[in-house]
A and B are shown apart, each in its own frame.
Chain A
């Protein structure tokens, strides 16, 4: 069965949506993600939609659902990489993307997750240098 891959990176799950999803595939992703959050005790989910040329009410609702379900499972979700034309269209469509945090790209999204989870991402070494 067709599936969208979910990558585990430290305490985060990373999903890059690179196909034009039909509705069942979107629902499968929703189910898979909630399972993986529990399985890996993930505290953050990053969804990269930069390859999506369109977000309609169904996909928008799926993103909202994922964010809400993840929150109930003690994980934060950040959606990254929305194309400007998609953002313009979503507003005109009237889709309330409530509860969804966004960031411009994967790097900024990671930073948002770290900050919201109280991990500032930097540790001070004994020699005074800092590393991520």
Chain B
């Protein structure tokens, strides 16, 4: 998989969460995603950016335009150096939350994406990547 374009955004405030979803929207439009696909990846990114801020204590979002053969897609990666997640299976379950949210962030973001990856080390941080292919 080849990365054609990449940009990074810091997530330190709730306004940064808005900036991340606007950046993802802009890239999705540039790639020619239809409106539903744009909305899905923007919404998934918003959930994950908020997790990075609220649970990870802030971090970085990287928006990559990727290509694999004839397919092009958008990959968004969220990295923080927060406390990490002890039980990933539990964190992915709908309704599970350690904060004040509804516990839909991770599971919801996974459902809204074609590919989903999560790595977390307790005490070190969390990295979540989502990918949505154009027209899938």
- Which residues of A are in contact with B by a Cβ distance under 8 Å? 20-24, 53-58, 60-61, 83, 85-86, 88-89, 92-95
Contact = CB atoms under 8 A, between A and B. Distances in A.
B35 interface: yes
Given A54-B46, A92-B112, 6 more contacts: A22-B14, A23-B14, A61-B102, A85-B38, A88-B40, A89-B36
Nearest to B48: A56
Consensus secondary structure, chain A interface: helix
B39 A94 contact: no
Consensus secondary structure, chain B interface: helix
18 contacts: A20-B21, A21-B18, A23-B14, A53-B39, A56-B46, A57-B102, A61-B101, A86-B39, A88-B36, A88-B39, A88-B40, A89-B36, A89-B40, A89-B112, A94-B94, A94-B104, A94-B107, A95-B108
Nearest to B38: A85
Interface string B96-132: 0000011011011001100000000000000000000
Interface of B: 13-15, 17-18, 21-22, 25, 35-36, 38-40, 42-43, 46-47, 50, 94, 101-102, 104-105, 107-108, 111-112
Nearest to B102: A57
A2 to B, nearest CB: 10
A20 B14 CA distance: 11
